[in-house]
Structure 1
Amino acid sequence: MDKVKLGFNKLTIYKFIWLICLAIFFFTSYNFANWFTSTRSDVGSIVFKWEHSIPLWPWSIVPYWSIDLMYGLAILLVCSYRDLKILCLRLLSAQIICIICFLIFPLKFSFERPTLDGLSGLLFDILMGFDKPFNQAPSLHITLLVILWQFYASYFRNVWRYILHIWCLLIALSVLTTWQHHFFDVPTGIGVGCFCIWLWPDEGLSPIKNYQLPKQYIWSSVYFLLFALSFSIAIYFYSWALWLLWFSVTFLLVSVNYLLVGTIGFQKQTNGNFNLAVTILYLPYFVIMWINSRLWTFKNKPVDLICDNVYLGKIPSNNTLCTDHFSAIVDLCAELPIPHFNGHYNLIPVLDMTPLTIEQCQQAAEIINQHYKKGKLLVCCALGYSRSATAIIAWLLLTKRASNLDEAISMVKERRHTIVITAKQRIILLDWFLQIKKGSQYVKS
């Protein structure tokens, strides 16, 4: 009992330390950014004409202020050291990123708010006591809301969760109806909030702590050029072209994945889906990749039987899952989700247009061999052309269904003519196969 009490007290102390440090850093950095921007003469605004029709709702200052209470309570509600660390690192990252943006790209709010009376007027007066019409994009208010919204959503259930969503929507709306922010600040704030959640995920390794360094220079360069192009168009054409900044952020993240982070950067979950924050960050890329997968495969069957209950195909649709009744799936696609699946789902994420490593060949072959006898097994990737085909080829070699690499490739190509095995992938498969033969590591099928 004493140990439990001691552990509780220690965690509580850590909570208050984090809360005090974050509060000090928040007010210090926020006020500094306000003061520094107020000394500059080149501060402009990004505002659309239609924003002049946004009404001023004095009562919305109440939900606007409520985020301060949510901020403190969230830190006090966490139940473990790990959850406390993740939440506070997200909040700290949000503050750092937003302050840097305020200093490098200063903006100001351009509407003049009339004098207000009553409780709303008092709350506005208190707010204006330390706030200025600067620190605009990305909206720190929205950034923190995204982080806190995701945190509280994991705690609330049933009707309370709906109440939470309604209140958070009111907070999001309040940054406009209190005349604190222009519209441009809102989506940029959402983006930074999602980025902070991506940076410090609830499960798995943080992207900045991954040391695998795949270094796919060519594809990293391709996506970096797409980032530069979309960013340049957004800045040059301005106005509604600013939505292309979403594409530029997405392409930059994908470029980083290919150069440094690997599949961890996509954060595909063990159920084959992505959390909401990751989905928002990568949505333009996900849509492009989904369209690409359908354009390349619309003349092909969704899946093809290779042998012994093992099927090869693209990421399945709901219709494919309903009609083919697979008992297990081996998914090698890092960049696309799969529909809800009730069978055995196994994820071995591999970046698009990259070969499987020796370890991934071994892992995929063993998983296929483990599940194919229990029912229909689908091995899939975005197109069902390369990554998934490689996995099945590895299985054919591991179980002696093929005596050599060329025979294994021919067996798969005979049933799905469109497969593509690159020269680099052939070398990796051959090296792995020689290791199997040398060590007599064949498995029983």
Structure 2
Amino acid sequence: MTSVTWRFNKLITYKLIWLISLTVFFFTSYNFANWFTSTRNDVGSIVFEWERSIPLWPWSIIPYWSIDCMYGLAILLASSYRTLKILCFRLLSAQIICIACFLIFPLKYSFERPVLDGLSGLLFDILMGFDKPFNQAPSLHIPLLVILWQFYARYFRGIWRYILHIWCLLIGLSVLTTWQHHFFDIPTGLWVGCFCVWLWPDNHLSPITNDQLPKQYVWGSAYFLLFLLSFCSAIYFFSWALWLLWVSGAFLLVSLNYLLFGAAGFQKQTNGHFNLAVTILYLPYFIIMWVNSRLWTFKNNPTDLIIDNVYLGRIPSNKILQANQFTSIVDLCAELPITQFNGHYKLIPVLDMTPLTIEECQQAAETIEKYHKQGKLLVCCALGYSRSATAIIAWLLMTQRVTSLNEAIATVKLYRHSVVITAKQQLILLNWYSKITRRK
């Protein structure tokens, strides 16, 4: 047996093990949650009055059922053990989170479906043979759909990709039109699905493995308090205030980034963008931070020339990029995306309101020195006041354009007056500068 054949057979074995294990866990945990909730007397519903106008479409039971085939087929189609592992970890995480929610916050479907006949009636009868109206929020169908949709999108091109999108949209719609779930179950399921994609990213660098960063307790605690405030407000005011749960989820993730995961928790990509799942998770926070960046800088120039083709500024809009014709960008903002840019782009993500480390100062200075010789270079962060200013100060020191830290800060402030370099950041810069000076 050749090594290639052996690896192929090993992968097939892993697929079968995962498929059987996940199937057993799915039915065992799902049925247990159904049974346990059915024994309780305090099971309520979260339903809006307008939901009574949602039609029952018996035919939609077909796309509803089809996710089971997509589930098993996806595991068998995984092209490598790494792809298989990420897929199965996401599916397993979705199952665990949803089952936990079913047990902790039990809900039930409150509409009574009429008796149906024909093929649709048969499929409904089979479904109700093991499914009961208790496993509601988050709808397990939705996170599984998010995970599988992203998986299959990599395998389809052209018209088949459009067919996939249409069919997945029908699956998502079917949880309502089969009268299996109330609306509240849909956005909560979407959040769980995106969270599982975030938890097990395609680059195999899960944020939970990033445990060697300094903890930012002040900002971590501040965002945790915002999480508690928005979460409690959603529960207290209820009704449409439940959308605040989305805001609270974003604040909780940001808090965890400051306490545990660091800038990697935002998963900003090397092109300056965020994937769709991460965008959905953090969207309320992204909007707040974008508005904040504009409010703090509307009286200032978007960018300012410091020296030798090096500009300092906030995250640029497409209009600013077109007007200035930058050839390169060094981006130190972890929490905001950058518009489409076709020049040289380097991401050095740093959390807002946190100092650059010695390593980040070195990396930023070297990158600026590399790119500024090729044309106009923009060094940016959310405001262009601290993180990006620190990077330029480090570059001025490294290239000996100035002779002291105070002179470097004064040089940058001369052209961008609102620059703020904290005492902690200055101490890090001094320690870094002393190290590179000793090397020389």
TM > 0.5 fold call: yes
Which residue in the other structure is 2:17 paired with?
17
Q: Deviations over 1:114-138 (max 9, x none)?
A: 0000000000000000000111000
Quick one: distance in 2 between partners of 1:431 and 1:6? 53
Shift of 1:156: 1.0
Deviation at 1:204, TM superposition (A): 4.9
Aligned alpha-carbon RMSD (Å): 0.8
Aligned counterpart, 1:167: 167
- Hey, what's the Cα distance between the residues in 2 that align with 1:213 and 1:235? 34
Provide the rounded CA distance (Å) in 1 between the counterparts of 2:365 and 2:213. 24
Letter in 2 for 1:224: F
Aligned residue for 1:130, secondary structure, equals coil
Conservation of the 8 A alpha-carbon contact between 2:86 and 2:204? no
SS at match of 2:37: helix
The CA deviation at 1:435 is: 1.0
Whether the 8 Å contact between 2:90 and 2:147 is mirrored in structure 1 is: yes
Paired position in structure 2 for 1:264: 264
Paired residues, number: 440
CA distance in structure 2 between the partners assigned to 1:213 and 1:272 by the alignment: 22
SS of 2:45 mapped into structure 1:
coil
Return the offset for 1:213: 3.3
8 Å CA contact 2:355–2:425 kept in 1: the answer is yes
Matched, 1:199 2:199: yes
- Output aligned runs, 1:101-250, within 5 Å: 101-250=101-250
Are the aligned partners of 1:214 and 1:261 in contact in 2 as well (CA < 8 Å)? Answer: no
Give the aligned residue type for 1:259.
Answer: L
SS in 2 for 1:312: strand
Residues 212, 262 of structure 1: 8 Å contact kept? no
The range that moved more, 147-156 or 349-358, is 147-156
Instruction: String of CA shifts for 1:293-331, please: whole Å, max 9, x gaps.
Output: 001111111111111111100001001111111111100
Match of 2:129, SS? helix
Counterpart in the other structure of 2:75: 75
Matches within 5 A, 1:397-412: 397-412=397-412
The correspondence of residues 27-426 of structure 1 with structure 2, limited to 5 A, is: 27-426=27-426
Q: Distance in 2 between matches of 1:199 and 1:264?
A: 11
- Distance, in Å, in 1 between the alignment partners of 2:50 and 2:213 is 46
TM-score after normalising by structure 1: 0.98
Asked if the contact 2:230/2:244 (under 8 Å) is kept, the reply is yes
User: Deviation of residue 3 (structure 1)?
Assistant: 1.7
Q: Amino acid of the residue matched to residue 417 of structure 1?
A: H
**What does residue 3 of structure 2 align with?**
3
Cα distance between partner residues in 2 of 1:300 and 1:12: 60
Deviation at 1:214, TM superposition (A): 2.3
Structure 2 gap ranges (5+): none
2: CA distance, partners of 1:407 / 1:118: 82
User: Residue deviations 1:17-67, cap 9 Å, x none?
Assistant: 100000000000000000000100010000000000101000000000000
**1:397-426 Cα shifts (integer Å, max 9, x gaps):** 000000000000011100111110011101
Q: Give structure 1 stretches of 5+ with no counterpart.
A: 441-445
Partner amino acid for 2:197? I
